[in-house]
């Protein structure tokens, strides 16, 4: 099934990016080191996440994949990182000139580089509707080494009351996609959810942090 990415491109054009966390994600900082992740980290659906800079500062090689060229250009501009753009195997690659960072501008399902040591998924799995998520998980597994470290952050809430994205992803779905992954933290994050959650009367949205060490 092909994904319609136009709504995402429009959101970037309208600067309607309520998911973006200025300063990055606290869970990454708290749980990453316990994973003993190898050097090469994959960040699917990366947006303009400042977590990329944090991972670079931990000495990782970072590869992001993002469908919006605008998002990628904003990221490099805001972070004052110089870059070059090239076309490689049909994909547009933005490569930092002085840091081990590349962001590919494409539909994630067209990205096929393999051998990553670790996955950082914040607001990627939960950005996808149910009919795409299984494909996302198996595509991602094919890009990672078998013993790759994983850090995946999910949100679970009453999907009958409010539509995604972000979509509700239940624990059994996460453990089915990622054998050996374990819940390391969870909390009710409703206060950080967008207006549509509050307008629908949702009072509980459980943010969960899932990890699998290398
Ligand atoms: C909810 S945002 C999360 C961004 C980032 N992970 C963060 O934590 O800030 C999802 C991002 O995925 C991008 N995206 C959506 N579908 C995509 C696809 N099929 N391929 C690549 N990027 C996609 C969107 O443009 C958007 O920037």
Instruction: Catalogue all structural domains in the chain, each as residue range(s) with its CATH number.
Output: 6-151 (3.40.50.150)
As a whole number of angstroms, the distance between CA 174 and CA 28 comes to 18
Q: In 10 A of CB 202, how many CB atoms?
A: 17
The predicted pLDDT at position 21 comes to: 95
The number of the ligand 1 atom at minimal distance from the alpha carbon of 166 is: 1
The number of the ligand 1 atom at minimal distance from the alpha carbon of 47 is: 27
The predicted pLDDT at position 3 comes to: 81
Ligand 1, atom 11: closest residue by C-alpha? 45
The predicted pLDDT at position 1 comes to: 60
Q: How far is the CA of 192 from the centre of ligand 1 (A)?
A: 18
What count of residues does the chain have?
214
The predicted pLDDT at position 194 comes to: 94
**C-beta of 107 in contact with ligand 1 (< 6 A):** yes
The predicted pLDDT at position 176 comes to: 98
**C-beta of 127 in contact with ligand 1 (< 6 A):** yes
- Tell me the average confidence (pLDDT) per consecutive run of 10 residues in the chain, 214 residues long: 88 97 96 97 98 98 98 98 95 98 97 98 97 97 98 97 97 97 97 94 97 98
Counting ligand 1 atoms within 8 A of each CB, the residue from 10, 13, 23, 45 with the most, and so the one to mutate, is 45
The number of the ligand 1 atom at minimal distance from the alpha carbon of 43 is: 6
**C-beta of 20 in contact with ligand 1 (< 6 A):** yes
**C-beta of 44 in contact with ligand 1 (< 6 A):** no
Largest CA distance in the chain: 48
**C-beta of 45 in contact with ligand 1 (< 6 A):** yes
């Amino acid at each position: 099934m092909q994904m319609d990415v136009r709504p995402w491109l429009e959101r970037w054009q309208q600067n309607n990016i309520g998911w973006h966390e200025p300063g990055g994600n606290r869970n990454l900082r708290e749980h990453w080191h316990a994973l003993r992740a190898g050097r090469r980290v994959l960040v699917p659906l990366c947006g303009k996440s400042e977590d990329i800079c944090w991972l670079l500062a931990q000495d990782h090689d970072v590869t992001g994949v993002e469908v919006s060229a605008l998002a990628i250009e904003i990221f490099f501009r805001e972070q004052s990182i110089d870059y070059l753009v090239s076309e490689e195997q049909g994909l547009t690659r933005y490569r930092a000139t002085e840091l081990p960072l590349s962001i590919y501008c494409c539909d994630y399902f067209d990205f096929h580089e393999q051998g990553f040591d670790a996955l950082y998924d914040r607001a990627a799995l939960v950005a996808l509707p149910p009919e795409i998520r299984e494909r996302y998980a198996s595509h991602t597994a094919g890009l990672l080494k078998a013993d790759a470290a994983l850090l995946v952050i999910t949100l679970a809430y009453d999907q009958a009351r409010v539509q995604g994205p972000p979509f509700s992803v239940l624990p059994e779905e996460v453990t089915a996609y990622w054998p050996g992954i374990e819940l390391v933290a969870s909390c009710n994050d409703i206060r950080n959810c967008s207006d549509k959650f509050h307008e629908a009367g949702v009072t509980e949205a459980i943010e969960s942090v899932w990890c699998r060490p290398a």
